[in-house]
Amino acid sequence: MKIICIGRNYIDHINELANERPESPVVFLKPDTSVLLKGQPFFIPEFSSDVHHEVEVLVKINRIGKHIQPKFSHKYYDEIGLGIDFTARDVQNDLKSKGLPWEKAKSFDGAAVVGKWVSKKELPNVDSLHFQLYKNDALVQDGQTTFMLWKIDELIAYVSQFFTLKIGDIIFTGTPSGVGPVAVHDVLKGTLEGLELFRIKVK
Ligand code: ZN
């Protein structure tokens, strides 16, 4: 199983980090060891003092595919989820400034929160989903998939040009604005269309 992540897919988040708007999707991977085990807290790694939450809509691939055309992308998933792309922002900024890959900042153990899955039949159109992240019951990120630069079906088509998609692969579709640091004792709760899909303690 692999996790394919999309960066810079919401203009308000691109602006908050003063990044350039990309001409094509920014793509990186997380290994299966980055998935936070069910029921476990997230431990802030020792190598960072500025770990940020990034709440993201997730897509679980349900059949094998390569070079998928956008009009067929919808056949490759029937569950949508919500997760966190934890990012060691201090490490990432250092790597970015040197033009180096981001894995140390984004692919460490526990850096991928994968919440519960919801059948897309139970949801409105995947291009008009509302999702939220609450930190200690305060709303910190409030996103809508309407505002993605590249929509879910376009992302599946795009990434399948580079990677064969396999059953169980997960796509993290990018974060809206409101990213920020987490601290020990924080509780992070994610909701999609009002459904609570994860609740994580930070240690
Ligand atoms: Zn992200």
Q: How far is the CA of 70 from the centre of ligand 1 (A)?
A: 22
Residue 72 lies in a domain: yes
**Other beta carbons less than 10 A from residue 35's beta carbon:** 18
Q: How far is the CA of 187 from the centre of ligand 1 (A)?
A: 19
Residue 159 lies in a domain: yes
Q: What is the pLDDT averaged over residues 64-68?
A: 98
Neighbours of ion ligand 1 (CB under 5 A): 54, 85, 175
Residue 10 lies in a domain: yes
Residue 167, domain CATH: 3.90.850.10
Q: State the average pLDDT for the chain.
A: 97
Residue 71 lies in a domain: yes
Residue 20 — very low, low, confident or very high, per pLDDT cuts 50/70/90?
Answer: confident
Q: What is the pLDDT of residues 115-155, one digit of tens each?
A: 999 999 999 999 999 999 999 999 999 999 999 999 999 99
Q: Running DSSP on this structure, what letter comes out for residue 119?
A: E
Residue 43 lies in a domain: no
Q: What is the pLDDT averaged over residues 5-18?
A: 92
**Predicted local distance difference test score (pLDDT) of residue 93:** 97
Q: How far is the CA of 7 from the centre of ligand 1 (A)?
A: 5
Q: Structural domain tally of the chain?
A: 1
Residue 44 lies in a domain: no
**Predicted local distance difference test score (pLDDT) of residue 61:** 98
Q: How far is the CA of 28 from the centre of ligand 1 (A)?
A: 9
Domain containing 83 equals 3-37+50-201
Residue 125 lies in a domain: yes
Residue 198 — very low, low, confident or very high, per pLDDT cuts 50/70/90?
Answer: very high
Residue 24 lies in a domain: yes
Q: How far is the CA of 200 from the centre of ligand 1 (A)?
A: 17
Neighbouring residues of 169: CB distance < 8 A, sequence distance ≥ 6:
1, 2, 3, 4, 60, 61
Q: What is the pLDDT of residues 69-88, one digit of tens each?
A: 999 999 999 999 999 999 99
Work out whether strand 51-53 and strand 180-181 pair parallel, antiparallel, or are unpaired.
antiparallel
